[in-house]
């Protein structure tokens, strides 16, 4: 990652806090862009802002605790006011590929139960069509080989994710298959086809779940609402 991309992530991440209001219950997304939101949010909390958040990964939980962001969970709250999250790819209809960091299941739950979802990213994440970024699919460890074969039958090249020479295990104790489809012309259809496969826990396709995108790039920061998409 370049310093420039890092800077854009910081700009987008910090911009998102402008949409946080006192008393809100927040969905705290995952990834390096969300880190900047949490850091900025920590500063506002120190000045008296009263919010609580549900983290979408153990990593986010750690950062939130570090920045003194009060946390809650679904035993306490059923509906969130606002979720702020990153993405790996965003298409012109605001469909997303997510899960590059392996947090897609918890992210999807948090975003699904939020009244409003804001996606923050650097400009490079905006694409004409999803698919260049290999689609993360969370699968049960048991029988992952046969699940991978079924995904391959749908036209993908699935690769079991590894980290530091070991198989990557998600926060839910599952594996992740990074599935190269190259092009995903109909994200909703593909999501449903994948979900029908036994062994698939969830896909990284987030269809129709985003209300606003905050993009930062060389020309500054752009806020795009679902209603005035590019
Ligand atoms: O599982 C990870 C998430 O979907 C992230 O939100 C996504 O990978 C974007 O991450 P970053 O902000 O680090 O580019």
In short, whether 29's Cβ falls inside 6 Å of ligand 1 is yes
Query: Cβ(69)–Cβ(56) under 8 Å?
Result: no
Binding site for substrate: which residues? 30-33, 85-88, 98-101, 125
In short, whether 32's Cβ falls inside 6 Å of ligand 1 is yes
Query: Cβ(110)–Cβ(28) under 8 Å?
Result: yes
Rounded Cα distance between 25 and 159, Å, is 37
**Tokens in use for 145?**
């080989």
How much is the pLDDT for 227?
Answer: 76
Q: Which of 107, 138, 180, 202 is catalytic?
A: 107
How much is the pLDDT for 228?
Answer: 61
In short, whether 31's Cβ falls inside 6 Å of ligand 1 is yes
Which atom from ligand 1 is nearest to the alpha carbon of 107? 4
Rounded Cα distance between 174 and 189, Å, is 24
Report DSSP state, residue 134: P
Rounded Cα distance between 178 and 137, Å, is 6
How much is the pLDDT for 226?
Answer: 87
CA of 23 to the centre of ligand 1 (A): 26
Handedness of CA 208, 209, 211, 217 (dihedral sign): negative
CA 177 to chain centre: 16
162 is catalytic: no
**Tokens in use for 37?**
């939101």
Which atom from ligand 1 is nearest to the alpha carbon of 33? 12
Q: Tell me the average confidence (pLDDT) per consecutive run of 10 residues in the chain, 230 residues long.
A: 90 98 98 98 98 98 98 97 98 98 98 98 98 98 98 98 97 98 97 98 98 97 81
Domains of the chain: 3-126+207-228 (3.40.50.1360), 135-203 (3.30.70.260)
Nearest Cα residue to 63 out of 84, 77, 42, 49: 42
Query: Cβ(38)–Cβ(64) under 8 Å?
Result: yes
Entry field: residues in the chain: 230
Query: Cβ(98)–Cβ(196) under 8 Å?
Result: no
Question: ipTM for the complex?
Answer: 0.98
Query: Cβ(181)–Cβ(135) under 8 Å?
Result: yes
CA of 203 to the centre of ligand 1 (A): 14
How much is the pLDDT for 225?
Answer: 95
CA 149 to chain centre: 26
Report DSSP state, residue 123: G
């Amino acid at each position: 990652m370049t310093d420039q991309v890092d800077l854009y992530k910081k700009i987008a991440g910090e911009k998102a806090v402008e949409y946080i209001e006192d008393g809100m219950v927040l969905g705290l997304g995952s990834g390096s862009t969300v880190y900047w939101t949490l850091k900025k949010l920590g500063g506002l909390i120190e000045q008296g802002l009263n919010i609580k958040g549900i983290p979408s990964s153990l990593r986010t939980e750690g950062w939130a605790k570090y920045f003194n962001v009060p946390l809650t969970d679904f035993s306490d709250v059923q509906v969130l006011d606002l979720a702020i999250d990153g993405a790996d790819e965003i298409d012109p209809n605001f469909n997303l590929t997510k899960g590059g960091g392996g947090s897609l299941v918890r992210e999807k739950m948090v975003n699904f139960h939020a009244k409003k979802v804001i996606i923050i990213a650097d400009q490079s994440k905006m694409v004409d069509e999803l698919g260049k970024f290999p689609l993360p699919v969370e699968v049960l460890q048991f029988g992952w080989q046969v699940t991978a074969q079924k995904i391959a039958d749908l036209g993908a090249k699935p690769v079991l994710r590894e980290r530091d020479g070991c198989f990557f295990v998600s926060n839910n104790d599952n594996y992740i298959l990074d599935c190269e489809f190259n092009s995903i012309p109909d994200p909703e259809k593909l999501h449903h086809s994948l979900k029908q496969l036994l062994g698939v826990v969830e896909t990284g396709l987030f269809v129709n779940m985003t209300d606003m995108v905050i993009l930062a790039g060389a020309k500054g920061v752009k806020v795009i609402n679902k209603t005035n998409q590019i």
